[in-house]
Every structure is written in structure tokens, then in C-alpha cells.
Amino acid sequence: STTRRIERTVPVPVAGSSATTYRASAASIAGTALSPTGSATARHLVEQRSPSVRYAKSWTTARPSTSIGSSVRRTTAARAKVTARVTGRSVGVLLQRGPSAGRAAVYLDGRKVAVLDLRSKKASTQVAWASSLSTSSSHTVRVVNLSTGKRLGFDGLVVVE
């Protein structure tokens, strides 16, 4: 018997600050149900409501139609940062893209893990960076604006617990 592992990413819309539990199940090609491999809880952490999110330097609140939550926090100050403590198996950072956006660095537990170019022709909010974590324990995620005069828009985090 041959076993083949298939991994698939499925986009899941996330809104609000409540948790939603998803359960995965599998079936063979013939349609025979197989045992589920597990479940996960996804949570969108809205920045204004979460005590685990801290801002440094100048940030303002905006309500663009592209936000996933009810609002986003924005800055144009170079080296402005947002830091969040999360507990989970996976984390994603929701950032705004658009013509007025610049570059940002993402740090996980104090180590730089990505530099993102958020410029695009069309404005949108999306998971700009995501990572699976080795354990479901507490981690620190920090996003730093690398551009002077260019906007960094933070919409929150998606965490799989």
C-alpha cells in the first residue's frame, strides 16, 4: 500500500474578534470517509481590542473599505512598530497593500524573518506574512515600518491555536 501526503492551503475569510473552529476531514478517491486529522481554531485579533498589541511611535486609526476588521492602524513614521504576543501553532500578519505603501520588516521572537514590499497598484488588505510555529506556545511578532513617508497599515493578526 502506498501512502501519499497531500497538503492544500484553503483561504478562509476571517472577520471580527471571535474564534472560529474548523475541522478538516478527508475522503479517498472512491469517496470512503477517512478519519479527520485534527482541528484548529482561527482568531482575528483586532488591534484596538487586544491588550497583547502595543504600538510605538505615531499611529492613527482609519476605516478603509479594504480592512478586514472594522478599522486599521496606520503610520508613515520610519521605524514605527507594532508588537503583539500570540499563542498558537501558526500566525499571519494582516497588512495593507497599495500605491502609498512602503516596506516593512517582520520579526518573530526577536529575529528578523522577512522584509516585505507592500506597494501595489490596487489597495487591499491581506495576509502579507505567515509562519507555522514549532509549538503552540507564546511568541512575539513585531512589524516595523522601513519607509519614510510611506504608509504601513496594520489590520491585525490571524492565529491558529
Mind listing the pLDDT tens digit of every residue in the chain (161 residues)?
444 444 444 444 444 444 444 444 445 444 454 455 555 555 555 454 577 889 998 999 988 888 877 788 999 999 999 999 888 888 889 999 999 999 999 999 999 999 999 999 999 998 899 998 887 788 999 999 999 999 999 988 888 77
Whole-number Å distance between alpha carbons of 78 and 150: 8
**Taking the model in full, what pTM does it have?**
0.74
DSSP 53: E
| CA 160 to chain CA mean position, Å | 10
Whole-number Å distance between alpha carbons of 85 and 138: 7
Nearest alpha carbon to residue 106 among 142, 146, 75:
142
